Amino acid sequence: MGNREEHISLGMAIGAPIIIGMLVGFADSFAAGLWQALLGLFLLAVGSVLPDWLEPPTHWNHRQENHSKETLYGTGIFSAVSIVLVILHDSAWIILFGLLFGYSLHLLLDSTTKMGLPDE
Ligand SMILES: [Zn+2]
């Protein structure tokens, strides 16, 4: 568990329907929604692998602050905030959601492994 392909596929399987659904519901126009979807999906994939770029898994103790439970709380909360901003303000916030939600899903998947996540 926990290799790059698994992180990207889990991110896409859970994040892509949310991104597409939010844009169908809230984008100002088809053109705006299309480029926001492409950028959002790209950053979803980037966010899904970003923790392991920041802390490469080359050492048994590679999970530090970028893999912590505190970071998961933060990215989770700001993912939710970005959804609220899409609904109340502008659909372009879905791009930030993609990055944060991909990052959250990476940590969520890592938390199911034997090593788990450090507290902070
Ligand atoms: Zn990781």
DSSP-derived secondary structure for the chain: ---HHHHHHHHHHHHHHHHHHHHHHH-SSHHHHHHHHHHHHHHHHHHHHHHHHHS-SSSTT---GGGSHHHHHHHHHHHHHHHHHHHHT-GGGHHHHHHHHHHHHHHHHHHTSSS-----
What confidence category does residue 1 fall into, taking pLDDT thresholds of 50, 70 and 90?
Answer: very low
What are the domain boundaries of the chain? 4-111
Q: How far is the CA of 29 from the centre of ligand 1 (A)?
A: 36
Q: How far is the CA of 114 from the centre of ligand 1 (A)?
A: 12
Mean pLDDT of 107-119: 91
Q: How far is the CA of 117 from the centre of ligand 1 (A)?
A: 9
Average pLDDT score, the chain = 94
Task: Give residue-wise pLDDT tens across range 42-85.
Answer: 999 999 999 999 998 887 667 889 999 999 999 999 999 999 99
